[in-house]
Structure 1
Amino acid sequence: EVDAASALLRTTLAQRRMLLLLDNARDSTQVRPLLPGGDSLVLVTSRSQLRGLATREGARRLALDTLAPAESAAFLRQRLIDRTADEADIRALADRCGHLPLALAVAAERCSRYPDLPLTDLIAELDGETSRLAALEAPLDPISDLRAVFSWSYDSLDEESRRAFRLLGLRPGHEIGMPAMAALFAVDIAAARRLVDKLVDANLVREHRPGRFVLHDLIRDYALEMGSEKESGEALLRLVSWYTHSLVAASEADGRSFRLMSLDPVVDGVTPLSFATSQQARAWGDREWPTMGSAVRLAVRAGLLGPAYQLVNKMFSLSMRHPPAETVPLQELGLDAALRAGQHIDAAYIRNQFGISRARVGDLPRAITEFRGAAEVFREAGTAAGLEMALSNCGQALSMIGSLDEAVAVLEEAYAVADAAGMDDRARASLIGLAEVYVRMERYEDAVRLVEEEIGYASVDVDSSASPRMTLVDALIGLRRYAEAENHLRLELAHRLEERNRWGEANVLVRRAVVERETERVAQARATLHEVVAILDEVGELDRTALTRERVEELLASVGSSASADRDVDAEAAQGLGGGVALRP
């Protein structure tokens, strides 16, 4: 029996110094009977973390990760020494194998088996997500077959953990957090933590930083192969619902809740996040931004059209802190999904957001087309809130291309729509755009009156470059009332710093630099503009209607210029910096 055999082993080895290698151990229970006493050493390899041995027997664990890229390339070069291979192809093949030693060995064996097969052909096979495991098959040797090796870990799990592993194959993006996994599994956080802990112990999942988990790409392919279409579809729906409603909570915590588009209710088994502060909400949103984009693509691919475009809609506020080039493809997907679902009013909301993104990249004619198209849908449907929004955005975009009289007419119509519907907040927002147009028309007194008497100073959009106070500053600069402008800039800068809004901070600072330039504080103006350049280097050009690198360089060149006295510098300053307007989703 096992106990007697174990005792005999310990007795036999008691006076010896032996090295025992126990390869591919299933668990701690399998290892314990083979542990000798005395001065012997046991080296155990396993796909499990063998936590029990570390706890009770004091085993020292050494985690083996995948190879480094340089090590993977060296491994392949050594195995492929008899054939000519381009260095770039070697690196690409190593990447496709995920730097996993067994995958590299199988790929190298296949290349040596078919010496006339170009490496590029194998790389092309490995590029397909569903074909990587097939391309690395070794069916006649289970010990060398990736599926077989992964199955050793998978088969050791209980059924609940197997289900969790299969569902993690769906995880969008590179990593996933515990709350998202709870939604994926349809369990609470505590249960999700227990399940993931079992997967980590089996080395199927890795916690690469606190609370963030990853699957190796080839293991993810195996998880997807093991799942069913029905199981995967239900889990993906839960995940997208969790992201959408967590975004609603984040927007509310950030004071930026836009609820014009109706949403599907939260899916059963899903508990959206809540946030105590705007900082928490923003930090979560920025961390999850890439994953949400991947979730949209997965949902569209799975035919979940409504959930996909609703998530795109709710990502808008978050998108304003990211380059518009990342947002445009998602909005195109969302718009197409809404139209395919036959939801034309919802499509108009996304079209309006798409117009904003086109404006942010500097394509104002396309933006105006999108705003007008959305407005027509809202007008036909009798949707006052949507119509006011699209008209207001259209009017502001028209003003940016110099169609000022038309812009005034469109914005006045937007105000009339909001006023007739009793939407005081929307009417006020239309007036902000009108005040911006007045600045461009050099009607500075009208702009000041509109802000001071009818709008107020409070920032309505901390992610936008514009606010009533910023519009007032532009008008005050045009009127050469620099001391008043600087006081408002000081308050606005404090607000942006409190919100940790670097893009908004840059837009305040560039106006401060103009005031410093016009009051002949040359050194301060140059220092401020260099600070703006540093911010642009950090966050990029998030909105070309508001601020560009070229505009900052022009201002730098103008500081201290002797020609400044010969031009209407104040009008130039006010009109040149008044471009960033609070386009609204």
Structure 2
Amino acid sequence: MVEEMREAQTPLDALGVTDPASDLRSAFDCSYAALGEPAATLFRRLGLHPGPDLTAAAATSASGLTVTQVRPLLAELAGANLISEHLPGRFILHDLLRAYAADLAERLDTDEDRRCATQRLIDHYVHSADTANRHFGKPKHSPVEPPPAAPGVSAIEPADEQRALAWFDAEVANLIAVARAVENAALDCHVIAFAAILETYLRRRSLTRLWVSLQEAAVGAAERLGDMAALRAAYSCLGGALTQMGDRDEAIQLYLRAIGLGPDPDPVRQGGIHLSLSDVFIQLGRYPEAMTEADRALTLFQAGNDRDREAAARNDIGWIHYLADDYEQALASCTEALALFEAVDNRSGQAYTWDSLGQAHHKLGHEDEASYCHQRSLAMLRELGHRYPEATILLHIGDCHEVGGRETEARLAWQEALAILEALDHPDAEEARARLSR
């Protein structure tokens, strides 16, 4: 039966039998025939949705109607058992019903009807994600903007950062499905937009393999379009994803390719590439090269009058001083960075800088100050949902406990870090295991 379903044009064809009373398609036809025309049209539109489930807002975009018009139609479909509300506000079609709805759309709707409905669905997710992403501090200097939304698109607008993060968590499977759909349809502008918009969320949740995959698709799309600004951004974003995966040598090559495309007319974007390159050199222990790149980035950020990015460069410079055992200078640079991050209300930047300050205080023997800084960093990262950095802070907290002779507390922090790193399948898990073994 499985083999027949694989070979059939739709799964329903394999399930057809000679007895009409037992034929699934006939059973579905009975339920569908009982629908009013608006509900029947909506059902066919839902068959075009590529993801596992959808909300009323997505259904609204698929139909081109208003939410007020769509809600009673969803209730009618649920009453006919053609869809089900498997979670509050989230509707699902059984795989066979989805195939049935898609088959009806193919037979009964025009190519233009299907194209417009699919475009509205894509735009719903692109523009909803873009709106949610702005709560994470969308880069002011991003060269990528989503294409304009088609008429009839209903995009969501989360009220704050926590609601935006919750929306991404609920919709990530749909977003990935839609991203794959636009890639397969060669909608290159949408491929680039999806990759740019989802980067912050995927980085925050450490969904690194998905992050790499989308950025690789964006590189291909930018190359096909000949869009050098988008290609430079895709190289840089892919470099960031590979850095988080631990593939640092390949990340360096990508950053150098981005630089090799020529200077970006925006000094802040150009500085971002140099700062990312500095981060990789830091991880490889190549501190003189890291300082050179961080200084270049700082100069470019100041030229672009971007205090947020200037703060990031100052934190990196402070961290390089820390790694070179110049702890007093590390404190000075990171204190400047923290003040700038607080002035622009960048909580992610504050979290990373609190960790840098904690490490410098730890090396100077200021254990109370170190503990305070690390706990501030950990609380912020947990609130923001940054998984990989959370594990890094836990390693640092365990180190401080170990120096203070608090072996039980050290072991607990390292075990928690190890659990996160193993869940992320991250190579830094070996560092946690080494500490625990010691």
- Whole-angstrom distance in 1 between the partners of 2:130 and 2:274: 25
1:147 to 17, 22, 25: 25
When structure 1 is superposed on structure 2, of 284-293 and 346-355 the one drifting more is 346-355
CA deviation vs aligned residue, 1:407-435 (integer Å, no higher than 9, x gap): 22122222222222333322222222222
CA deviation vs aligned residue, 1:311-347 (integer Å, no higher than 9, x gap): 2210111102043123222222232223223323113
How many pairs does the alignment contain?
430
1:248 to 115, 123, 130: 130
When structure 1 is superposed on structure 2, of 360-369 and 184-193 the one drifting more is 184-193
| Structure with the greater alpha carbon radius of gyration | 1
Structure 1 pair 342/229, CA: closer, same or farther in 2 (3 Å)? Answer: farther
2:278 to 395, 400, 412: 395
1:519 to 383, 404, 412: 404
Q: How far off is 1:286 after superposition? A: 0.7
The aligned residue for residue 65 of structure 2 is 187
Tell me if structure 1 keeps the 8 A contact 2:259–2:273: yes
The aligned residue for residue 234 of structure 1 is 116
1:197-208 correspondence runs (5 A): 197-208=75-86
- Whole-angstrom distance in 2 between the partners of 1:443 and 1:523: 30
CA deviation vs aligned residue, 1:521-545 (integer Å, no higher than 9, x gap): 22222233233344446xx23765x
Q: How far off is 1:292 after superposition? A: 0.1
Matched, 1:131 2:10: yes
Aligned to 1:213, the other structure's residue is in SS state strand
1:298 to 181, 188, 210: 181
Structure 1 pair 362/502, CA: closer, same or farther in 2 (3 Å)? Answer: closer
Please tell me the root mean square deviation across aligned C-alpha atoms, in Å.
Answer: 2.6
- For 2:410, the aligned partner's letter is A
- For 2:405, the aligned partner's letter is E
The aligned residue for residue 281 of structure 1 is 164
Q: How far off is 1:503 after superposition? A: 4.6
- For 2:283, the aligned partner's letter is M
1:177 to 50, 55, 64: 55
- Whole-angstrom distance in 2 between the partners of 1:505 and 1:407: 23
- Whole-angstrom distance in 1 between the partners of 2:270 and 2:386: 29
Structure 1 pair 518/530, CA: closer, same or farther in 2 (3 Å)? Answer: same
Structure 1 pair 148/342, CA: closer, same or farther in 2 (3 Å)? Answer: farther
Q: How far off is 1:381 after superposition? A: 4.6
Matched, 1:551 2:431: yes
Q: How far off is 1:392 after superposition? A: 0.9
The aligned residue for residue 240 of structure 2 is 356
Q: How far off is 1:457 after superposition? A: 7.7
Tell me if structure 2 keeps the 8 A contact 1:324–1:542: no
Tell me if structure 2 keeps the 8 A contact 1:541–1:549: no
Aligned to 1:207, the other structure's residue is in SS state strand
Tell me if structure 1 keeps the 8 A contact 2:348–2:380: no
1:431 to 299, 314, 327: 314
Matched, 1:211 2:89: yes
CA deviation vs aligned residue, 1:326-375 (integer Å, no higher than 9, x gap): 32222222322232233231132122111111111110011111122223
Structure 1 pair 541/303, CA: closer, same or farther in 2 (3 Å)? Answer: closer
Structure 1 pair 210/259, CA: closer, same or farther in 2 (3 Å)? Answer: farther
Q: How far off is 1:458 after superposition? A: 4.7
2:213 to 313, 329, 337: 329
Structure 1 pair 466/371, CA: closer, same or farther in 2 (3 Å)? Answer: farther
Tell me if structure 1 keeps the 8 A contact 2:129–2:168: yes
Tell me if structure 2 keeps the 8 A contact 1:322–1:542: no
1:481 to 353, 366, 374: 366
- For 2:215, the aligned partner's letter is Q
Structure 1 pair 396/534, CA: closer, same or farther in 2 (3 Å)? Answer: closer
- For 1:317, the aligned partner's letter is T
- Whole-angstrom distance in 2 between the partners of 1:241 and 1:142: 41
Aligned to 2:146, the other structure's residue is in SS state coil
Matched, 1:370 2:254: yes
CA deviation vs aligned residue, 1:496-539 (integer Å, no higher than 9, x gap): 344455554433332121111111122222233233344446xx
- Whole-angstrom distance in 1 between the partners of 2:323 and 2:111: 56
The aligned residue for residue 30 of structure 1 is none
1:496-511 correspondence runs (5 A): 496-499=381-384, 501=386, 503-511=388-396
Structure 1 pair 346/376, CA: closer, same or farther in 2 (3 Å)? Answer: same
- For 1:514, the aligned partner's letter is D
- Whole-angstrom distance in 2 between the partners of 1:124 and 1:278: 43
CA deviation vs aligned residue, 1:113-142 (integer Å, no higher than 9, x gap): xxxxxxxx435425xxx432333344x654
- For 2:71, the aligned partner's letter is R
More helix by percentage: 2
Q: How far off is 1:256 after superposition? A: 5.0
Aligned to 1:456, the other structure's residue is in SS state helix
CA deviation vs aligned residue, 1:213-264 (integer Å, no higher than 9, x gap): 1111122112212224322222222222222222232233344555612232
1:93-104 correspondence runs (5 A): 93=1, 96=2
Tell me if structure 1 keeps the 8 A contact 2:387–2:420: yes
Tell me if structure 1 keeps the 8 A contact 2:223–2:231: yes
- Whole-angstrom distance in 2 between the partners of 1:355 and 1:133: 44
Q: How far off is 1:445 after superposition? A: 2.4
Tell me if structure 1 keeps the 8 A contact 2:219–2:234: yes
- Whole-angstrom distance in 2 between the partners of 1:209 and 1:298: 25
Aligned to 2:57, the other structure's residue is in SS state helix
Q: How far off is 1:495 after superposition? A: 2.5
2:268 to 385, 392, 395: 385
- Whole-angstrom distance in 2 between the partners of 1:254 and 1:314: 10
Aligned to 2:151, the other structure's residue is in SS state coil
- Unmatched tracts of structure 2, length 5 or more: none
Tell me if structure 2 keeps the 8 A contact 1:331–1:350: yes
- Whole-angstrom distance in 2 between the partners of 1:303 and 1:497: 37
Structure 1 pair 487/445, CA: closer, same or farther in 2 (3 Å)? Answer: same
- For 2:77, the aligned partner's letter is L
Structure 1 pair 350/195, CA: closer, same or farther in 2 (3 Å)? Answer: farther
